[in-house]
Chains A and B, each alone.
Chain A
């Protein structure tokens, strides 16, 4: 019997793994995107805390970023996966449930990734806010602009301009980090490649294919980010 070649294995045919790999790519994207949304939201609050919080809030934000940037991401994923399941089990037992309750790998993984990227987002946002010319904010204050309007119309777009390059970086990192979530058994790209490699004994084909899919995702997101950057840096000196 012939061993199937690369294109046969990666096809949509009966021997093909294309559907499974594409599904896995979507899973990778979903984990990364969810983690990214969690991370940027949390990061925005932490940055706000660092910039204008009192001593307690600032201390908390400072500790958060120091700790999360200092420990391996894999550890954070384990912490949320196993710790989350233990906590969930406790809660469910408290509510009268029985047995062991698993925190789904997707949830644990994206929260873990989000929590890690929050630390990176915090630094990006804080640096971006610092880069806004204080005079531009003062000019709005001097015209009697209310706080929420000032934030939405002036501070946010000006901060975004400085934050976007950094946010693009964090997105790429988050995307790659999502590969670590494979340890929880979620079938994302890396996990799917392992499965394929194991059952066909063609590790190179599968890891190569997943690498290509990763690249396609980063390439497309790079295009989107470039557009956003262009939009927000309008009026900047070139």
Chain B
């Protein structure tokens, strides 16, 4: 159970002169659920996006399993992955759930879930379809399979997006503030799905503002401040006064 799923070493990211990540070291082992907390602008989303290379790190190492993404510098001095094909392969193994769902609006829910397994992995359609139906059932929106995203509630869209990620059989799931765009009454249904995934032993990195989820579901909490890890640890420790003073202030119920 202690095989590392994701390792970050000295991860840095700057946008122009603005350094958003100033050297992050992070390990997430297989089966771990890591909640990443921090106030806005602390770099937590950027860190997550560096893992599947939606953002290219300026420096540092990103390891997915035992593969490292090698970076090089282009003519303009910008950092970029050495091997774009390898990045694509890695993205197939790293699922991502976005704050704004990002379902493909011209496809039905079922088509959304089936798209990537068929057109990225090249798997047979019938088999993918069966699996997709089972996934929709699992996230509780089987009845909506032929609906278009625009006709679903935010909570249903996010559950469909989770099913879409799961259809790729990812080694790791990244959640980028998955409940932040939802009406309060819809947050629960998405968190329930995420909790059930955690119970299955999936490796998850979750950027969130949901303190309840961080405390009750995650195996580890990482608190970011100004592009660095301020403190981290088991939720039981951190939420009972074990973290930094800054974290205590952050986590205190206002």
Mark contacts of A208-238 with chain B using CB atoms, 8 A cut-off: 1 yes-contact digit, 0 otherwise.
0000000000000000000000001011110
For the complex formed, measure the closest distance between the CB of A228 and the CB atoms of chain B, giving whole angstroms.
Answer: 13
CB-defined contacts of A143 to chain B, threshold 8 Å: 91-92, 95-96, 116, 120, 165, 168
Selected from A138, A158, A237, the residue in CB contact (under 8 A) with B106 is: A158
Q: Are A141 and B91 neighbours in the complex by a CB distance under 8 Å?
A: yes
B134 contacts partner chain A, Cβ-Cβ < 8 Å: no
**In-complex Cβ contact of B104 among A142, A144, A154, A236 (8 A):** A154
Does B79 touch A at the CB level, under 8 Å? no
Contact call A133/B150, Cβ cutoff below 8 A = no
Q: Which residues of A contact B148 (CB under 8 A)?
A: 234-236
* B110 surroundings in chain A (CB, below 8 A): none
The answer to whether the Cβ of A161 comes within 8 Å of any Cβ in the partner chain is yes
Are A149 and B100 neighbours in the complex by a CB distance under 8 Å? no
CA distance A149 to B101 in the complex (A): 21
With A235-B150, A237-B150 as given contacts, are A145 and B119 in contact (CB-CB < 8 Å)? yes
CA distance A157 to B104 in the complex (A): 10
Query: For chain A residues 132-191, which have a beta carbon within 8 Å of chain B?
Result: 133, 135-136, 138-146, 149, 153-154, 157-158, 161
B160 to chain A: closest CB distance in Å?
Answer: 12
CA distance A136 to B115 in the complex (A): 13
Partner pick for A144 among B91, B100, B103, B108, CB 8 A cutoff: B91
Given contacts A138-B102, A158-B105, contact A145 B150 (CB under 8 A): no
Interchain CB contact under 8 A, A145 and B100: no
Smallest Cβ distance from A141 to chain B, in angstroms?
7
Known: A143-B92, A144-B88, A235-B148. A135 touches B102 (CB 8 A): yes
B91 and A235 within 8 A (CB): no
Question: Contact mask B149-184 → A, CB, 8 Å, 1/0?
Answer: 111000000000100110010000000000000000
Closest to B149 in A: A235
Shortest distance between the CB of B133 and any CB in chain A (Å) = 19
Chain A's interface: helix, strand, loop or mixed, by majority? helix
Central interface residue in A138, A142, A145, by most chain B CB within 10 Å: A142
Nearest chain B CB to A235's CB is how many angstroms away? 3
Q: How far apart are B125's CB and chain A's nearest CB, in angstroms?
A: 14
Which of B98, B102, B105, B119 meets A235, CB within 8 Å?
B105
Q: Which of B89, B92, B102, B108 has a CB less than 8 Å from the CB of A139?
A: B102
Q: Are the CB atoms of B54 and A235 closer together than 8 Å? A: no
Chain B 75-91, CB-CB to A under 8 Å as 1, else 0, gives 00000000000001111
Contact with A along B103-133 (1 / 0, CB 8 A): 1111110000001100110000000000000
* Complex partner residue of A136 from B91, B94, B104, B168, CB under 8 angstroms: B104
CB closest chain-A residue, reference B108: A235
Contact B98 A139 (CB under 8 A): yes
Known A138-B98, A235-B149, A237-B150; contact A145-B116, beta-carbon cutoff 8 A? yes
B52 contacts chain A at the CB level, 8 A cutoff:
yes
Q: Bound complex: CA of A112 vs CA of B148, how far in Å?
A: 42
Which B residues are CB-close (under 8 A) to A154?
104
Q: Which A-chain residue is minimally distant from B167 (CB atoms)?
A: A143
| B54 contact set on A, CB distance < 8 A | 138, 141-142
Known A-B contacts A136-B104, A143-B168, A235-B150; the reply to A149 vs B120 at CB < 8 A is yes
B residues adjacent to A (C-beta < 8 A): 52, 54, 88-92, 94-96, 98, 100-108, 115-116, 119-120, 148-151, 161, 164-165, 168
19 new A-B contacts at CB < 8 Å, known A140-B116, A143-B91, A158-B106: A135-B101, A136-B104, A138-B98, A139-B102, A139-B103, A139-B161, A144-B88, A144-B116, A145-B119, A146-B88, A153-B115, A158-B104, A161-B106, A235-B106, A235-B107, A235-B149, A235-B150, A236-B105, A237-B151
